[in-house]
Amino acid sequence: MNNAAEVRALLITPDKALESIFNDLARELGILTDVCGAEEVIPAEIGREKFEALMIDFDRVREAGAAMAALRANPSNQNAVIFAVATQHDQNQLALYHGANFVLARPLETKELRRTLYAAYDAMTHERRRYFRCTAELPVFLTRADGTDLVARTGNVSASGMSIQSGVAFNLGEKVGIALDLQNGGPHVLARGVVVWDDKHGKSGISFHCVRPELQSTLDGWLDAEFKKMREEAVRELQQARSASSAG
């Protein structure tokens, strides 16, 4: 399972015991975990993907500091929550120097790690929400610069823009007026927009501009509600899968 509301974490460790404990606790919260044990692929892994959390084993990973630096250098990941396992004093100080948010020491206790993950959960969810794009087919009314009106459907919607399917081609940089119908005749979000991509086959991407604060608040509230529903569904599916696995 993989959806836009899932919080993703990258675990960097060769320690199978730590991997097992972290994966079990991550599933409790509906966190999808990628595991990396080979140091030579760490920078590429961090550069390719979007993660809301990083758990890195300073005790066992030689280039842990470099991996944290690579994460912070990536604009998509620079606000991720970082957990470090650093038992010795010098490793502990190195983890803090590189910007770890939480530092744990061996022997690791499941209770302590669970408490730490739960404490950081809101921050991880908030980071995911910033990049959330809701897949939704909503009516959107567009006015082109020449005064032409047309009706389109959204493919996805975020706080800063949307993809649409209109059946017509737009020019890159073209400015449009927008009236986005969020709830079938309910509140509309009125904005100006700029076309940022167009496939010349009726699909386009539009970035929002000049949205009044009260209307941005309406959009954000709608996205928050959709994000919450998707998160709850993701956690429920994970729990059902876990129960089925245990029963089997």
Please tell me the predicted confidence (pLDDT) of residue 1: 40
Same-domain check for residues 67 and 118: yes
Residue 228 lies in a domain: no
Q: Which CATH number belongs to the domain containing residue 143 in this structure?
A: 2.40.10.220
Q: Is the torsion defined by CA of 36, 111, 118, 89 positive or negative?
A: negative
Domain count, the chain: 2
Q: What is the dihedral of CA 120, 123, 124, 127, to 10 degrees?
A: -170
| Burial of residue 174, with CB atoms counted within 10 A of its CB: 0-12 exposed, 13-18 middle, 19 or more buried | middle
Using the CB atoms, write b or e for 123-143: b if 16+ within 10 Å.
ebbebbbeebbbeeebebbbe
Per residue in 108-131, pLDDT (tens digit) is 999 999 999 988 888 888 777 777
Domain containing 142 equals 134-220
CA–CA distance, 68 with 100 (Å, rounded to integer): 8
Same-domain check for residues 139 and 79: no
Same-domain check for residues 156 and 191: yes
Same-domain check for residues 183 and 83: no
Percent of the chain residues topping a pLDDT of 90: 46
Residue 123 lies in a domain: yes
Same-domain check for residues 24 and 124: yes
Residue 63 lies in a domain: yes
How many C-alpha atoms does 65 have within 13 Å on its Cβ side?
9
Q: What mean pLDDT is predicted for residues 196-200?
A: 94
Same-domain check for residues 42 and 77: yes
CA–CA distance, 148 with 154 (Å, rounded to integer): 19
Find the DSSP H helices in the chain.
16-28, 42-48, 64-73, 89-97, 110-130, 213-247
Per residue in 54-112, pLDDT (tens digit) is 999 999 998 888 888 888 888 878 888 999 999 999 999 999 998 999 999 999 999 99
pTM: predicted TM-score of the whole model, two decimal places = 0.61
Q: What mean pLDDT is predicted for residues 5-21?
A: 89
Q: Does the pLDDT of residue 228 top 80, yes or no?
A: no
